Every structure is written in C-alpha cells, then in structure tokens.
C-alpha cells in the first residue's frame, strides 16, 4: 500500500483485497473478552476533524485504541483554527508533536492531499468536502462481501498469516441512489467497487448528478423502479441539503416519491439483495423506517464493520505487516 489513503483510486485491486482480508482477521477480536492488540503501541494517531462527525471520528478512535495506539482528538471548534490558524500551521504543530498518522475530515475538497505534503506521517482521508471518503467505501465493500459470503483466506494479518486473498465482488450489481452530486461516499464507492469487479449503476435526478459523471466507471439511470429487480445491492444516500445552494428538485415529498426506498419498492428486489446506507439517515425521505430496520438492511453492520476496516487501514499504513515479519 501507499503511505497515505487519500482516494479510493489510490488502492489497486490487490491493495483493496489486502485491506478487506486483514479486516476479516481483525474482526475476530470483537468476539474476544479483551478487544485489544499491542500492534501499534507507542504510535500516535491524531483525529483532525474540521467538520462535525460522530460515526467516523468514534470509529477511527476505537480502531486506533484497539491496536493500542495513543489517540489525540483535535476539533476545529475551540482550537486555534477558530482564531484563524491555517491548515498548514496546524499541520506543522502536529508534525512537531510526532504524529504517526493524521486522520483528517475537512469541508474543503483536496485538504488531505495538501496535508500529506506537510507531514511525514501517514494521512488518511476521513471525508473532504464533496470529494471522497475512501474508508467508507472500504467498509461498504467489506459489508457486501460478508453478506454475499465472499470473504475468505486471510491476508498478511497481525498474526503473520500468509498472503491469501478473500473473494472480490466480481459480477455483483450495486445501485447507488440519491444525491450523487454532493456525495463523497458515492465517488469513493464507484471507484472502489469498480476496482473490485462490481457493476455500479447510479440512479438520481439529472440535477443531482455531477457534470463529468460520464467519465466515472459506472452507468447512469433515472428510473429507480426499473433498476431494483436487477440489483444485488441498493445503497441509499442522504439528501445533503446543507450543501445545496439552489433548488435541485421540486420538493422533498416529490423526491421521496420518485427516489425513496419504501417497503413496496423493497419488495421488487431479488431475494438475496441487501439495502445499505452510509448514515446519517433521513428516515421517511430517502429510506422508510421499515426498510431501515428490516433484516435486509446493513446499516448497523456497516457501523460495526467500520471499526474493523479502519483497524486494518491503520495497521497496514503504520507498518504492522512489516513489524510482524
């Protein structure tokens, strides 16, 4: 793997499978009475969050602590950033503190890339503007792989396992529905799922599709009802109205009628199909409560799997594999 994880495009097929296989092995720790490994003892991980977050920040914090790393949580609110300190000055401060990895979430697309130029440690993108969120795509792929029974064969894991590979996602049909234009999750998922062999279809109103979407490795449609019977996975996205500066659709009610997933629409899915959502959910808008809480929904699994996947990313980027050899 590279030293940083800034985009899902940074991951080759082998890299992605290595992360997923390592996460498979690390997930077993959750079943133990003591859920910790000494692998990253003495390493320092900084969570540098310029945007509010609950799931992602806590997930990274839990992942680092389960690997015995020291964790520093940095929030822009109440810090020198609120007094006008630049990202570069903050980066230099972290560098002086000896941070081995910086997990950054920022409202500006490209901020993790700039940060990687200023620090010697690894930089992990935890979401930058409407650009990318690679670890979310990894945990989504991990969840899909487990639900469809394609896990298997551990990677070079924390116990010195061999270089075997679990299954990829070849041939699975994944439909991503909703606010593609403002979604960093959609971008990262399209790139990673394509790398892993899945067929990705985007469904959204024309106004919620990026201008250059034709260059993405996926197909595009506008009719959710036509796509559902052919889908193995349906990933619903939240309407990010806080990022919208214009009227992209007539009303929330009209959007929900055309692009919301309710029980009637879920009944159109094939028998083994699953429903995903990166969270937070707008129940009653893009997804009905009955669908979100159904056995087909993987929302809670995604949160749990996020810790295992982020453990794998930290472990691999901070040299866990080399330390065990």
- Residues acting as catalytic residues: 55-56, 83, 105, 133
Strand positions, DSSP E, the chain: 44-49, 70-75, 101-106, 122-128, 173-177, 199-203, 219-221, 233-236, 274-276
Burial of 240 (0-12, 13-18, 19+ CB in 10 A): middle
The b/e string for 168-195 (b: 16+ C-beta within 10 A; e otherwise) is bbeebbbbbbbbbbbbbbbbbbbbbbbb
| CA nearest to 1, candidates 114, 101, 96 | 101
Query: Would you give the distance in Å from CA 255 to the centre of its chain?
Result: 25
The phi and psi torsions of 84 (rounded to 5 degrees) equal: 105, 10
| Structural contact between residues 323 and 298, judged by C-beta atoms closer than 8 angstroms | no
The b/e string for 270-303 (b: 16+ C-beta within 10 A; e otherwise) is eeebbbbbbbebbeebbbbeebbeeebbbbebbb
Long-range contacts of 246-252 (CB under 8 A, 24+ apart): 248/181, 248/205, 248/207, 248/208, 249/205, 249/207, 249/208, 252/285
| CA nearest to 48, candidates 102, 89, 101 | 102
| CA nearest to 45, candidates 66, 20, 25, 30 | 66
Who's near 267: CB < 8 A, 6+ residues apart?
Answer: none
């Amino acid at each position: 793997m590279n030293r940083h994880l800034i985009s899902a495009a940074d991951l080759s097929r082998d890299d992605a499978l290595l992360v997923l296989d390592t996460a498979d092995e690390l997930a077993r720790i959750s079943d133990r009475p003591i859920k910790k490994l000494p692998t990253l003892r003495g390493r320092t991980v900084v969570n540098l969050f310029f945007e509010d977050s609950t799931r992602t920040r806590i997930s990274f914090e839990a992942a680092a602590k389960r690997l015995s790393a020291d964790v520093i949580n940095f929030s822009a609110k109440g810090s020198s950033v609120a007094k006008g300190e630049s990202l570069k000055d903050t980066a230099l401060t972290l560098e002086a503190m000896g941070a081995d990895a910086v997990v950054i979430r920022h409202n500006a697309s490209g901020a993790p890339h700039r940060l990687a130029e200023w620090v010697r440690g690894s930089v992990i993108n935890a979401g930058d503007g409407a650009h990318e969120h690679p670890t979310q795509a990894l945990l989504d792929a991990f969840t899909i792989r487990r639900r469809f029974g394609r896990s298997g064969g551990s990677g070079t894991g924390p116990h010195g396992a061999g270089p075997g590979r679990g299954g990829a996602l070849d041939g699975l049909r994944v439909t991503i529905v909703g606010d593609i234009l403002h979604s960093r999750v959609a971008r990262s998922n399209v790139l990673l799922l394509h790398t892993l062999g899945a067929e990705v279809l985007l469904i959204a109103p024309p106004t919620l599709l990026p201008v250059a979407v034709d260059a993405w490795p996926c197909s595009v449609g506008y009719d959710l009802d036509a796509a559902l019977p052919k889908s193995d996975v349906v990933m619903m996205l939240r309407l990010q109205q806080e990022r919208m500066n214009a009227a992209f659709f007539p009303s929330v009610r009209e959007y929900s009628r055309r692009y919301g997933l309710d029980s009637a629409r879920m009944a159109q899915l094939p028998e083994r199909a699953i429903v995903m959502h990166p969270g937070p959910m707008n129940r009653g808008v893009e997804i009905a409560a009955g669908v979100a809480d159904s056995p087909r929904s993987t929302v809670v699994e995604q949160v749990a799997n996020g810790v295992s996947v982020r453990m794998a990313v930290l472990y691999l980027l901070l040299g866990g594999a080399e330390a065990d050899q």
